[in-house]
Structure 1
């Protein structure tokens, strides 16, 4: 998978897995990653699917309707890529925190839904429920931040609340930031994610 790896200053800090939104690239979330955890190594990945020339992490049938078989395939593809990247770059596979926006948040959520111990935690900006009707692995000890918009037309509040409940039901600790905007990632939401990250992953704690 096309990606960027930037070695951080602190090898004990979580490695940040950056996952862009539809039409983005592996460059998009680099400023966000640096803001959330300046000392972390960064692995920023470009989705392998193209939708009218726009990179995505998995196909969809329509707005808000996922191609579930492709989502499962691409989730396993990303999982395998992470295993190889950890070997290639020498980082701790058990110390990865995903930061995803929109489509990237959805593939990060799917990793959590499919593989126990896949991620130490996640920052999910405007995610949807990736799949319904499946049993989740044990997520006890996983720290998850959700950024949501009260007026988000793509991820309405009930979608966020359903995802919250599913993750908490699997044992994850979930904190949700509610903004008054739509689907965009605002500066206030990014700052809230950074504050949350420092609270949970700072070397002082």
Structure 2
């Protein structure tokens, strides 16, 4: 089972077909963020660029964890993979940090985690892909590096794909996502 989380302004269709192409036999769950920011769908509120409403993030992290857990319970023998882009990567990271048992593999495509996460030893040995652009104006490289280091410190198997561009997804990132999802 693959959970695909869209970026700001996307919707449940943004990565649905990609998930189906990458893992044709897997069930795909692609939730739609129910927060509107000037008409753009998001998974949680923010008060400015890179400034999150942490209370709202905590509430929505809990709700998303319940949503994922319900799907997982209906498919008890299926591995559960998650990937998200931008705002979708942020909610996925928050859920994985709060409930590390929900996902078997995690791909965070251009995440921005502006808070200092607590240690999560249960992430040890989880496969985690983090992609970034060195000149991303939304997710500054030092914050991406800090997140990579944080997951490494937790003992996760961290894979990265970094390009010299900005907030755009590039083919090498999608190939790294495919490799993560299809790996034995």
Smaller-chain TM-score range? over 0.9
Taking a change above 3 Å as real, the CA distance of residues 161 and 50 of structure 1, as seen in their structure-2 partners, is same
On the 8 A contact 1:33/1:99 being kept in 2, the answer is no
Partner residue in 2 for 1:160: 144
Aligned Cα root-mean-square deviation (Å): 1.7
Rounded to whole Å, the distance in 2 between the matches of 1:79 and 1:93 is: 18
Runs of 4+ in 1 over 6 A off after TM superposition: none
CA shift, 1:61, in A, is 0.8
Structure 1 portions without partners, runs of 5+: 1-14
Taking a change above 3 Å as real, the CA distance of residues 28 and 67 of structure 1, as seen in their structure-2 partners, is same
Partner residue in 2 for 1:10: none
CA shift, 1:156, in A, is 1.7
Rounded to whole Å, the distance in 2 between the matches of 1:183 and 1:134 is: 26
Structure 2 portions without partners, runs of 5+: none
Partner residue in 2 for 1:24: 10
CA shift, 1:115, in A, is 1.3
State TM-score, norm by structure 2. Answer: 0.92
CA shift, 1:129, in A, is 1.7
Establish whether residue 178 from structure 1 lines up as the match of residue 150 from structure 2: no
State TM-score, norm by structure 1. Answer: 0.83
Q: What does residue range 61-140 of structure 1 map to in structure 2 within 5 Å?
A: 61-87=47-73, 90-92=74-76, 95-129=79-113, 131-140=115-124
